């Protein structure tokens, strides 16, 4: 193998190694624990989506639930 290729291969290995290192050493327990503690305190698990405030169309807090102040159903009747 020629030297520049060896250097390139070593670079790729270093990239993989550093990725594995970051992956292995990431404080998962801290991250998930904080999220769980937050949920335990507020009992809320909705995503903090950065969407516009238009709750006549959808419930941005709870997408699976009825939109707040939705009147079209009544008017259609």
Partner 1 sequence: MNANAFWHFLTLQLFKERSKHLSVIVISAMILFLLSSVLFISSSIRFSLEETLKVQPDFVVSRVQGGISVPTPMIWEDELIDIYGVSNVIQRVYGRYFFKAKERSFLIVGVDFLEEQSHENLQKLIAKTDIKAFLNGSKMLVGEGVKTYLDAHFYKDDYNFLTPEGTFEKVNIFKTLPFQSNLIANDMMVMPIDLARKILGYSEEEVSDITFNVPNPDEWDMMTDKVSALHYDLQVVNKKDVQKSYENLYNYKGGLFLILFLVVLSTFTLILYQRYSMVYSSERRNIGLLRALGWSINDVLKFKFTETLVIVFASYILGVFFAYVYVFVLGAPLLKEVFLGGQNLQNTLTFVPVLDFSVLTSIFLIYALPFIAAVLIPVWRVSVTEPKEAML
Tokens of 37: 């503690």
Task: Phi first, then psi: give them for residue 2, nearest 5 degrees.
Answer: -80, 155
The minimum distance between CB 28 and partner 1, in angstroms, equals 7
70 binds partner 1 (CB under 8 A): yes
Residue ranges in 14-43 that form contacts with partner 1 under rule CB under 8 A: 15-16, 19, 22-23, 26, 28, 30-32, 34-43
Residue 69 and residue 55 in contact, taking contact as beta carbons nearer than 8 Å:
yes
> Which helix (H) or strand (E) is 19 found in, with range?
helix 3-25
State the residues that interact with partner 1 by CB under 8 A: 1-2, 4-5, 8, 12, 15-16, 19, 22-23, 26, 28, 30-32, 34-53, 55, 59-74
């Amino acid at each position: 193998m020629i030297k520049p290729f060896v250097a390139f291969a070593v670079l790729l290995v270093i990239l993989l190694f550093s990725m594995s290192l970051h992956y292995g050493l990431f404080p998962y327990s801290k991250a998930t624990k904080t999220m769980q503690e937050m949920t335990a305190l507020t009992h809320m698990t909705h995503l903090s989506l950065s969407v516009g405030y238009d709750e006549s169309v959808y419930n941005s807090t709870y997408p699976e639930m009825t939109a707040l102040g939705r009147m079209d159903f009544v008017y259609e009747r």
